[in-house]
Amino acid sequence: MNVELYNQPLSSIIADITIEFVTPQQWETHPHAPLLSMAKFEGKSEQICLLHEHKLIVCGLDNESSDEYRSAMTSVIKTLLDTNYTCAKLCIPKEIYFHAVIEGALLGGYKFQEYKSKPKTSSLQTLFFAYNSQYDFEHFQSILHQTLIVSKATNFVRDLVNQTPYDMTPQTMAITAEALAQTNNLECTILDVNSLESENMNAMLAVGRASVNPPRLIHLAYKPNNPKKVITLVGKGLTYDSGGLSLKAATSMVTMKMDKAGGCAVMGIIKAISELSLDIEVHAFVGAVENMIGGNAYKPDDVLVAKNGKTIEVRNTDAEGRLVLADVLGYAQEKVKADYIFDYATLTGACMVALGPYTTGVMGHNEELKRSWLQAAEASGEYCGNLPFNPHLKKLIKSDLADVCNVSSKPYGGAITAALFLDNFIDEDMKQKWIHFDIAGSAYTESAWDVHTYGGTGAGVRMTLEWLLKLQQQGNN
């Protein structure tokens, strides 16, 4: 869908249909109030009324907020995609809500149809936004430019996550990264099994050993001249998580193609950063691995030596993401001296137990840094919740046999103990500069909510871009 901005009154723009948003206080004075009332329209949140004769679609808003506008536009777009209208027009709401409306259109209108033999086509091609004043027009253009890049990057991540495990293997993920590097002028390095062996990445290798699709480490880099900061992003890229020998139950295994969502997210984030030409150097590392069963599979009882030399007692092969991340975090810190390191992983079911299915868990040692992320998430329309560390939880992953155990001795607080496991692989000088995001709940959905339709959500992209744009602004001041 194209989105165009016009410095003209709405009435002078020719389109098939006009979109209007009204709050419960506004609709009763609407010129078509009698008709709306006949249709039992009450101006409630996401309520839609299509007045075909008047070429008008009216959508309710409980109140004026970014979240309400985002959801309302999602409802509008979903309705319009089911019609034969080809273009629609609307007035830009207040500046602070503009990005949310664009997101509602681009994210809410997303549908993954690659595996449908007869994909549904839609007539809707273009959205025209009218803004009738010279004042701040450029500013609106830059909001539009930024929001389009971020929304498209989110949909790019969704497309990757939605690929089947047959289509998206570690090798295909690496090929996708190479293609992205080509189009976006990024540096790209891929490590195959031999290189991973030379780098002593035995934990990652152990997880991938029983798969016919060998692991890959992907390193994408965006290097502007004179960067203000250097950021490292690390993503869990389990193209499939069967659980390994600690095999998942049949019903829990379904959807585990989404276990690559962290890796896909960091690819989407670096894509957006390069398109926005930020003055920030960004490195994206993905541990692309398939966790399978087989005669050569790694086992509960194995002891693995990670890249940083620490030994890990494996007691559950389904806690594989942290093993992959242990090595990728080690590699990333060795290769790049960054100002911050952030990792994204569909790491634990426990995160969903703690925060529910829509919220990303935020963990780390630096309270102020975590706060800045909670703020960025809120501003971006993503949900984040703080999961606090404490020294007692740390004791739960002690091992009698090795330096650390890959699972906790108690069944509670699993999202935090997983993060405390990762902490073993964060260098001393990076402890205050590290944040771990558990996106197990937020990365994938089987029922539509907010701007999300069935499948990958692109969790992590919008909030990270929000955080990085703020960082760039601070650097400019």
Q: Where along the sequence are the contacts to ligand BES (CB under 6 A)?
A: 241, 259, 316, 318-321, 346-350, 407, 414, 440
Of 76, 87, 105, nearest to 13 by C-alpha is 87
Q: Shortest distance, CB of residue 251 to ligand BES, whole angstroms?
A: 11
* Closer residue to Zn ion (CB): 66 or 239: 239
Cα–Cα distance for residue pair 185/369, rounded to 1 Å: 30
Catalytic positions = 248, 322
Q: Shortest distance, CB of residue 319 to ligand BES, whole angstroms?
A: 4
Q: How many residues form the binding site for Zn ion (CB under 5 A)? A: 6
* Helix 137-162 with 261-276: angle, nearest 10 deg: 150
Cα–Cα distance for residue pair 373/191, rounded to 1 Å: 31
What is the number of the residue whose Cβ is closest to ligand BES? 349
Interface positions, 191-250, toward Zn ion (CB under 5 A): 238, 241
- For residue 50, what are the β-bridge partners? 57
Q: Which does 361 bind (CB under 5 to 8 A by kind): Zn ion, ligand BES, none?
A: none
* Closer residue to ligand BES (CB): 147 or 408: 408
Q: Shortest distance, CB of residue 161 to Zn ion, whole angstroms?
A: 13
Does the CA dihedral 111-112-116-121 come out positive or negative?
positive
* Closer residue to ligand BES (CB): 231 or 324: 324
Q: Which does 382 bind (CB under 5 to 8 A by kind): Zn ion, ligand BES, none?
A: none
* Closer residue to Zn ion (CB): 143 or 258: 258
- Which residue in the set 20, 68, 259, 327 belongs to the binding site for Zn ion (CB under 5 A)? 259
Q: Which does 466 bind (CB under 5 to 8 A by kind): ligand BES, Zn ion, none?
A: none
Helix (H) or strand (E) holding 331: helix 321-335
- For residue 217, what are the β-bridge partners? 191, 287
Contact between 263 and Zn ion per CB under 5 A: no
Q: Shortest distance, CB of residue 321 to Zn ion, whole angstroms?
A: 4
Q: Shortest distance, CB of residue 327 to ligand BES, whole angstroms?
A: 15
Q: How many CB atoms lie within 10 A of CB 408?
A: 24
Cα–Cα distance for residue pair 211/214, rounded to 1 Å: 6
Q: Which does 316 bind (CB under 5 to 8 A by kind): ligand BES, Zn ion, none?
A: ligand BES
- Which residue in the set 159, 318, 438, 450 belongs to the binding site for Zn ion (CB under 5 A)? 318
Task: Name the one range near Zn ion by CB under 5 A: 19-27, 87-95, 139-147, 320-328.
Answer: 320-328
Residue whose tokens read 């290097």: 223
> Angle CA(242)–CA(352)–CA(463) in degrees, nearest 5?
105
Q: Shortest distance, CB of residue 231 to ligand BES, whole angstroms?
A: 25
Task: Name the one range near Zn ion by CB under 5 A: 81-89, 256-264, 362-370, 444-452.
Answer: 256-264
Residue whose tokens read 């249709």: 39
Cα–Cα distance for residue pair 225/147, rounded to 1 Å: 24
Q: Shortest distance, CB of residue 253 to ligand BES, whole angstroms?
A: 10
* DSSP-derived secondary structure letter, 121: P
Does the CA dihedral 370-375-378-380 come out positive or negative?
negative
Q: What is the DSSP string of 245-306?
A: TSPPPHHHHTTGGGGGHHHHHHHHHHHHHHHHT-SEEEEEEEEEEEE--STT---TT-EEE-
* Closer residue to Zn ion (CB): 276 or 324: 324
* Closer residue to ligand BES (CB): 24 or 349: 349
Contact between 321 and Zn ion per CB under 5 A: yes
CA 263, distance to chain mean position in Å, is 9
What is each CA distance from 39 to 50, 58, 59, 404, 423, in whole angstroms? Answer: 9, 11, 12, 63, 57
State phi, psi for 467 to the nearest 5 degrees. -65, -40
* Closer residue to ligand BES (CB): 20 or 438: 438
Contact between 290 and Zn ion per CB under 5 A: no
Q: Which does 455 bind (CB under 5 to 8 A by kind): ligand BES, Zn ion, none?
A: none
Return residues touching Zn ion (CB under 5 A). 238, 241, 259, 318, 320-321
